[in-house]
Structure 1
Amino acid sequence: MTGEPNPFGEAPAPDPLRVVVADDNPVVRAGLTALLDGREDLTVVAEAADGKEAYEAARAHRPDVVLLDVRMPGVDGIAALPHLVPLTAVLMLTYSGETEIVQEALRRGANGYLVHGEFTADELVAAVRDTRRGRPHVTPTAAGALLAQLRGRGAGSEASAPSLGRRWRTEGATSTENLSQLQPDVGQSVSDRSTYGLSGREAEIMDLIASGMNNQQIAATCFISEKTVKNHINRIFAKLHSTSRSEATAKWLGRAPGSDREWGDLS
């Protein structure tokens, strides 16, 4: 018969996932738009140069995901988040990797946090798709910020932001490889670490080393030079009686051979 649908025919392709790109740098916006529009299942429906424009674009176009920068003139990304989150999923995509900013963005409802230079084009596309499905993504710098909050800051730090700690340990840890790697270390005792005698800054840098960051990423996160990072690392290694990052990490996480917690004990 004519005019009747073929029950064995191919199903129509789903509508493309709709994205708003918000960044004050027009070159970055153009590059992201070209990258995403080049995928059959993605389309950029609007660009925005600040948080206010991102909010207006979200209201007008009802996108599936907003890619949101942090530092923008006028209304920045952090200020815009509470207004965007009720409308759509928001994935932070930024050069800002400071611990406090990462934690605040996630506390305000961002679905993930990507720092430029820490992901490939394919990883970005996968993160956008997963954000629409409610699966969070974080890159190493953001993972380090979560690591710093979830352990080593004392019981009071988690009590001050319980919703963030619970959200990322339960929802995020099961769907994001980076976060699942953080979960076993939440129970590490602060008192155990105090025996190494690291200063506050050294402990922060050791946390970032343990999260997998290189010296350049640590320098950017802590707003110090790479030379200063190297000086800190030399002192850390001396205090931990270690000669490599892997050995220092093992001791810092209580996983060194002969310690109470062996590598194989973490399941």
Structure 2
Amino acid sequence: MSDATPTVAVTVLVADDNTVVRAVLRDMLHPGTGIRLAGEAADGQQALDAARRLKPDVTLLDHRMPLRDGLSVVVAISEHSKVLMLTRISDDALVLEAVRAGALGFLVHGQFSPAELVQAIHAVAGGEAHLSPSAARALMTAVRERQPGPAADPHGLSPRERQIMDLMVAGEPNSGISARLGIAEKTVRNQVSQIYRKLNVRNRAQAVVYWLNRR
């Protein structure tokens, strides 16, 4: 008999008004991926109600849906579940608004494989940001085109925390930051949590938006 601890599946709520899209996503998220489908929703209000009831680890949330669109419920859903936006477009303003509202990830249909979707879900479930390449470019463009804020940082980040933020903006995960700076990954996690507190943000994507917008 094996003493290995069984892996707990990541629970996912799929919210999209297109029945074909929901069926395709169901096929992608088969049991062998370590993901379990917790429920489905066909509009924004159903998505919010289901997130409150089921409290899934991750909600795959479409942008355009009836009754309430995806963006209008990101903040509320984020209280119960991490949000991965899964849309058909990567408009700059849409990406920026989704991240500001609390979405941890943003994928564009047609720009990811089933394996990449599974990877994104696991990353977001673990609190990591995950953006498709076009969404990442849109985010960078949207932020850089905004009027820059004052150069001074009123939040009191230490020199080390500023180094970590620069590496986060460059897309480095905690393990990469640990290797680059020669510090333990646990130390990186602790300092990232401190950064979130100082910047008054909830996740990595929001921290990156803030940091880019200060330049």
Give the TM-score taking structure 2 as reference length.
0.69
State how far apart, in whole Å, the 2-side matches of 1:157 and 1:96 are: 32
The structure-2 alpha-carbon separation of the partners of 1:66 and 1:157, relative to structure 1 and needing over 3 Å to count, comes to farther
Q: Which of 47, 56, 61 is residue 54 of structure 2 equivalent to?
A: 61
1:133 correspondence with 2:126: yes
State how far apart, in whole Å, the 1-side matches of 2:26 and 2:50 are: 15
The structure-2 alpha-carbon separation of the partners of 1:169 and 1:124, relative to structure 1 and needing over 3 Å to count, comes to farther
State how far apart, in whole Å, the 2-side matches of 1:133 and 1:158 are: 32
SS in 2 for 1:118: coil
1:103 correspondence with 2:78: no
* Shift in Å, 1:147: 1.4
Partner of 1:90: 83
Higher relative contact order (CA 8 A, sep 6+): 2
SS in 2 for 1:155: coil
Residue 175 of structure 1 aligns to which amino acid in structure 2? Answer: P
Structure 1 vs Structure 2 CA RMSD:
3.3
Q: Which of 60, 68, 82 is residue 75 of structure 1 equivalent to?
A: 68
State how far apart, in whole Å, the 1-side matches of 2:105 and 2:23 are: 22
State how far apart, in whole Å, the 1-side matches of 2:77 and 2:18 are: 20
Residue 102 of structure 1 aligns to which amino acid in structure 2? Answer: V
Give the TM-score taking structure 1 as reference length.
0.57
Partner of 1:175: 173
State how far apart, in whole Å, the 1-side matches of 2:151 and 2:113 are: 32
Whether contact under 8 Å (1:149, 1:158) holds in the other structure is: no
1:33 correspondence with 2:26: yes
Whether contact under 8 Å (1:16, 1:41) holds in the other structure is: yes
Structure 1, unmatched stretches of 5+, are 1-5, 190-267
Deviation string, structure 1 residues 22-69 (Cα, Å, up to 9, x no partner): 000000001101210242511101010111111111122111100000
State how far apart, in whole Å, the 2-side matches of 1:126 and 1:81 are: 21
Question: Within 5 Å, which residues of 2 pair with 1:191-206?
Answer: none
Partner of 2:14: 21
The structure-2 alpha-carbon separation of the partners of 1:158 and 1:93, relative to structure 1 and needing over 3 Å to count, comes to farther
* Shift in Å, 1:98: 1.1
Partner of 1:222: none
* Shift in Å, 1:157: 10
Whether contact under 8 Å (1:136, 1:175) holds in the other structure is: no
Q: Which of 42, 47, 55 is residue 35 of structure 2 equivalent to?
A: 42
Residue 64 of structure 1 aligns to which amino acid in structure 2? Answer: D
* Shift in Å, 1:100: 0.7
State how far apart, in whole Å, the 2-side matches of 1:157 and 1:75 are: 36
Residue 98 of structure 1 aligns to which amino acid in structure 2? Answer: D
1:149 correspondence with 2:142: yes
Deviation string, structure 1 residues 213-237 (Cα, Å, up to 9, x no partner): xxxxxxxxxxxxxxxxxxxxxxxxx
The structure-2 alpha-carbon separation of the partners of 1:55 and 1:157, relative to structure 1 and needing over 3 Å to count, comes to farther
The structure-2 alpha-carbon separation of the partners of 1:87 and 1:155, relative to structure 1 and needing over 3 Å to count, comes to same
Residue 135 of structure 1 aligns to which amino acid in structure 2? Answer: E
Among the aligned pairs, what percent are the same residue?
Answer: 39
Partner of 2:189: none
Residue 48 of structure 2 aligns to which amino acid in structure 1? Answer: Y
The structure-2 alpha-carbon separation of the partners of 1:91 and 1:123, relative to structure 1 and needing over 3 Å to count, comes to same
State how far apart, in whole Å, the 2-side matches of 1:33 and 1:58 are: 17
* Shift in Å, 1:10: 2.4
**Matched positions, count:** 171
